Amino acid sequence: MMTADLRAPMSACPACAAMPASEALAQSKAAMKDATISLSLPGIHCAACISGVEGALARVDGVHEARVNLTLKRASVTAAPEVTADDLVAVLTGAGYEAHELDAGTIAATKTDREGRELLMRMAVAGFAMMNVMLLSVSVWSGAEAATRDMFHWISAAITLPAIAFSGQPFFRNAWAALRVGRLNMDVPISLAILLALVTSLWETMLSGEHAYFDAAISLTFFLLAGRYLDHRTRAIARSAAEELTALEVPRAWLVEGTGERQVPVAELAPGMLVRVRPGGRMPVDGEIVEGRSEVDRSLLTGETLPVFAGPGVAVSAGEVNLTGPLVVRATAVGAETSLHRMAELVAVAESGRSNYTSLADKAAKLYAPGVHILAALSFVGWWLWSGDVRVALNIAAAVLIITCPCALGLAVPAVTTAASGRLFRRGMLIKHHTALERLAEVDTVVFDKTGTLTAGAPEVMGLEGHDLRDMEVALALAEGSAHPLSMALAAALRARGVAAAEVAEVAELPGYGTRGLWRGEEVRLGRAAWVGAEAGAETSAFLKVGERRAVAFRFTDSLRAGAEDAVAALLARGVKVVLMSGDTTPAVEALAGRLGIRHWLAEALPGDKAARIEALQAEGAKVLMVGDGLNDTAALSVAHVSISPASALDAARVASDIVLLGGDLSPVPEALDVAGKAVRRIRENFRIATLYNVVAVPLAVAGLATPLIAALAMSLSSVTVSLNALRLR
């Protein structure tokens, strides 16, 4: 933050996408009036796009500065407060660039960014020191003697000690944190090896001894920092992409006041306020409808696909989607008190179960750390008793610790996960959790949610052939008069069949009920069962009533999400048990299960049921992958061994899951299982390679034959082999 404060105003582009810069701007008084607007530009890819977007934005009145970040595919705009994001989006759409507003508060990634920068600086210092010390060591290895050797050792010490004091801090801090609670992690042997090597080398140098391990200590630090940095970057990329998904949903609401309406951030709402929710909008608060009639889509909360009638007095909860008519809602609960938020909090409780998973690296460390310490201690005691010389014994113990130091182990996991995550990222999958790949590799059961996961959440008309042509013509005329999702799907399907709309007069939509009009002097209605006087079935249907004749039903099914059939077939083919769990009605779930060939299914499941079933499956020893998108899935997502949610999912569901699917396609899911399996195989291979090096080098070290040259060779060779092995995944 401090650096940003100092530098940002001087840099050529104060709005250079970086949040620190914009925060610093917000703090400085001169820029107080200006607002920073962030836009997501998914379509830009070239130099011409950059100048096109920047030019188009700069021509807007009130825009002071516009800067495109091509890597993040974002634009950051500094503009006068009267310029709104909607204006800018309209300008860019007009210029031919797809643009979406990003919530500036959500993409404030300052902290993570600073962490990465800190690691990079430590790595740079360690790299610089390593190169210089290695050059000095080359002269020592090639036979420098007496005063020259001592001088080279002293210079090495002068470079290494401050460099490690700065660069090694992450390891020392982690090791101390683990030791304080009486545990061992990978950082304990690392820190011990580095410190012991420094102490003995310093002592040797003072006594003008032959062997000093400054080069080994500093290159160890450098390789391990490289592993840490890779690890951090992989997660930072996933995190920033996940943040962008969240930032795309800008939380705003229309507040109804005595004087009119005003757009406000959701955070400013309080219970008792009146909020207008337009058709297509999501409820920002829990509340009660005071005005208007409509239907609401609760599928993200409950998994039901049937829209529910909503009129004055009906309670609604945050997250539901208003379908047809404008509604005015009196807020009863806002922000953290909404049922949406309370459900999301349940997830945090369930999540503690997952932390029981021990990563492969931790498992290796548990075996490895005590073994290494015992070995080093034994060689120290053995040599001390045999030779009676503490100096020799300490030197050999340090050599053992350095040779066995888990340098390759520290690189083994991050190098593989970086390569695997990169490959899956290109296929549209975002690995959010660092052990997600390992857990994914163990999966033997896949549980799918229905609505919004296997289905696209968009209705599709079924069995149009059975309808009378005249009915279809009337239905088309009525359906065209409404923006209801069912009407739109019906109209599209009828038009695709070449049906021409009948001439229906006085078409009017009654929000919450349907559309009606006059056709050849008779009243025609298209809408809910009760409104046209028909019996409602279990399936999603729209009913058409012509005059006094019996109502006809147009039945709908949810269209399948792209790749759903392939994904399920591929999973079944590889012998994975596939289960379908949904909050929807039994016939709807049964029909979909039959269509996809899924034998195990569960319908009308409450959120708790889903989680309980998954827990039961896991108690039987199954490793469950949960794929779901709704609020009713969040508990299940966090209980499952590993979880995936599509980008269209509710924020709470995306937070709860380990992996986010960026595209609309489900087909990468089986591939992710493959890649995860391969990644875990590579990690194990890497552990074996590292162990092999130790098996060769440790006897030399214990026998007192290891020189700093052998230590440096063993370490570099094993690190390079491990990294190359990981790269085979790409």
Please give the positions annotated as active site. Answer: 449
Query: Using an 8 Å Cβ cutoff, are 211 and 226 in contact?
Result: no
Are 729 and 423 spatial neighbours (Cβ–Cβ below 8 Å)? Answer: yes
* Tokens encoding 524: 């025609």
Residue 331 within binding range of other proteins, rule CB under 8 A: no
Position 332 contacts other proteins (CB under 8 A): no
Binding of residue 520 to other proteins (CB under 8 A): no
Of positions 39, 89, 125, 673, contacts other proteins by CB under 8 A: 125
426 binds other proteins (CB under 8 A): no
Which segment (9-17, 314-322, 459-467, 693-701) binds other proteins by CB under 8 A?
A: 9-17
| Cβ nearer to other proteins, comparing 123 with 656 | 123
The dihedral through the CA atoms of 188, 190, 193, 196 has a sign that is negative
Nearer to other proteins, 19 or 614 (CB): 19
Q: Does 108 help bind other proteins (rule: CB under 8 A)?
A: no
Pick one of 23, 62, 64, 70: the residue that binds other proteins (CB under 8 A): 70
Sign of the dihedral defined by the CA atoms of residues 488, 489, 493, 496, in that order: positive
Closest by alpha carbon to 102, among 242, 201, 224, 236?
242
> Does residue 159 bind other proteins (CB under 8 A)?
yes
Q: Between 155 and 622, whose beta carbon lies closer to other proteins? A: 155
Report 19-38 residues binding other proteins (CB under 8 A).
20-21
Q: Are 344 and 284 in contact (CB under 8 A)?
A: no
Which of 1, 7, 90, 265: binder of other proteins (CB under 8 A)? 7
Q: Does 263 bind other proteins (CB under 8 A)?
A: no
Residue 557 Cα to chain centre, angstroms: 31
User: If DSSP states are collapsed to H, E and C, what string results for 688-716?
Assistant: HHHHHHHHHHHHHHHCCCCCHHHHHHHHH
CA-closest candidate to residue 613, choices 436, 448, 498: 448
End-to-end Cα, the chain, rounded Å: 36
The vertex-140 CA angle with 139 and 146, nearest 5°, equals 115
CB nearer to other proteins: pick between 120 and 161: 120
Per CB under 8 A, contacts with other proteins among 470-509 are none
Report how far residue 406's alpha carbon sits from residue 360's, in angstroms, rounded to the nearest whole number: 14
Overall size of the chain counted in residues: 730
The residue within the footprint of other proteins, chosen from 5, 60, 62, 69 (CB under 8 A), is: 69
User: Structure tokens of 441?
Assistant: 């590799």
* Smallest separation (angstroms) from other proteins to the CB of 690: 30
Minimal distance in Å, beta carbon 226 to other proteins? Answer: 15
Q: Of 84, 110, 112, 132, which lies in the binding site for other proteins, with binding defined by CB under 8 A?
A: 132
564 is an interface residue for other proteins by CB under 8 A: no
Which range binds other proteins by CB under 8 A, 42-50, 343-351, 444-452, 574-582?
Answer: 42-50
Nearer to other proteins, 161 or 572 (CB): 161
- Residue 662: exposed, middle, or buried by beta-carbon count in 10 A (0-12, 13-18, 19+)? middle
Query: Can you tell me the distance from the alpha carbon of 480 to that of 473, in angstroms, rounded to the nearest whole number?
Result: 11
Contact 545, 524 (CB under 8 A): yes
Q: Which residue from 71, 259, 352, 355 is in contact with other proteins, where contact means CB under 8 A? A: 71
With contacts defined by CB under 8 A, name the span among 147-155, 270-278, 508-516, 713-721 that binds other proteins: 147-155
Residue found under tokens 């508060």: 105
User: Does position 3 bind other proteins by CB under 8 A?
Assistant: yes
Binding site for other proteins (CB under 8 A): 3-4, 7, 11-12, 16-18, 20-21, 46-48, 50-51, 68-72, 117, 120-121, 124-125, 128, 131-132, 135-136, 148, 151, 155, 159
